[in-house]
Amino acid sequence: MFGNLFDNITTPEEGEVLPHLSLKFKPLHVTYYSMQKQFELSDAKNKEWGMESLADYDEYKRMFLETNLYLLGVTFVVSFFHSIFECLAFKNDIAFWREKDSMEGISVKTLYMQLVMSIIICLYLFENETSLMISAPQGFGILLDLWKLKKASKFTRTVSFPYFTLEDKDTYSGKTKEYDKIAMKYMSWMMFPLMGCYTVYSVFYKEHKGWYSFILNTLVGGIYVFGFI
């Protein structure tokens, strides 16, 4: 094959400039090869289980090619610790509410708001086809919020839709309920005007695919910016 290839090479004419081609070969280190095969197997499993999409692979390529290696390493370390701390937060939250019988000193209204915000964020993640690695903990957080509401309220079945009601427990009364109501009133004086301003900003300066996308993105942006209130 190479003999026929070189037979067709002609001598360059005087003054003609030919392109220069250099080929370099070197063996692949066994550690790098093992990591490469491990990534391939991991990607195949994630794709089989539906935990990653083609958009995720493109994002991985862009991340490795365009990001500084030191910054990428710091990002991996921070993400690793964030996952650990998130699991510990879930664990401690469950341990706290498992032993909690009295709602004295607990803001039940905040639990309702937290549930609504978690649902909105989860819908936003599904709207943007986020990987299950991110949306799964958010979905677990919704289940955890529902469980906490069940612990904080009295669950009663009804014959009409939605076929249940949540009533305040006797321990959520007196000063706790009064202060919770006052806190929510003053909080609304700050949060609702800020959400209105952010909505106007979203209309003029952001693009949206439709009304559903506009409402969802505006609510999520408001939650991320003003959720601390």
Give the tens place of pLDDT for each residue, 51-89. Answer: 666 566 667 667 766 777 788 788 888 888 888 998 898
Mean pLDDT of 12-36: 71
CB neighbour class for 120 (10 Å; exposed up to 12, middle 13-18, buried from 19): middle
Out of 56-65, 95-104, 109-118, 135-144, least confident range = 56-65
- As a whole number of angstroms, the distance between CA 122 and CA 137 comes to 10
Q: Give the length of the chain.
A: 229
Residue 1 has pLDDT above 50, yes or no: no
**Average pLDDT, rounded, for the chain:** 79
Identity at 6, one-letter amino acid code: F
Q: Pairing between strand 164-168 and 153-157? A: antiparallel
SS3 for 87-129 is HHHHHHHHHHHHCCCCCCCCCHHHHHHHHHHHHHHHHHHHHCC
Sign of the Cα torsion 224, 137, 52, 123 reads negative
Please check whether residue 220 is in contact with residue 206, taking contact to mean a CB–CB distance below 8 angstroms: no
Peptide bond into 137 cis (omega under 30): no
Which of 10-14, 36-40, 110-114, 169-173 is predicted most confidently? 110-114
Per-residue model confidence as pLDDT tens digits over 26-47: 777 777 677 777 777 777 776 6
Per-residue model confidence as pLDDT tens digits over 173-223: 778 888 988 988 888 888 888 888 888 988 888 888 888 888 888 888 888
- As a whole number of angstroms, the distance between CA 197 and CA 49 comes to 42
Maximum Cα–Cα distance across the chain: 102
Q: Tell me, what's the pLDDT at 119?
A: 92
Residue 2 has pLDDT above 70, yes or no: no
Beta strands in the chain (DSSP E): 153-157, 164-168
Please check whether residue 120 is in contact with residue 69, taking contact to mean a CB–CB distance below 8 angstroms: no
Q: Which two tokens stand for residue 100?
A: 């909690």
Boundaries of every domain in the chain: 100-226
Token look-up 């400039």 returns 17
Query: Which candidate, 185, 206, 212, places its Cα nearest to that of 120?
Result: 212
Token look-up 């005087």 returns 14
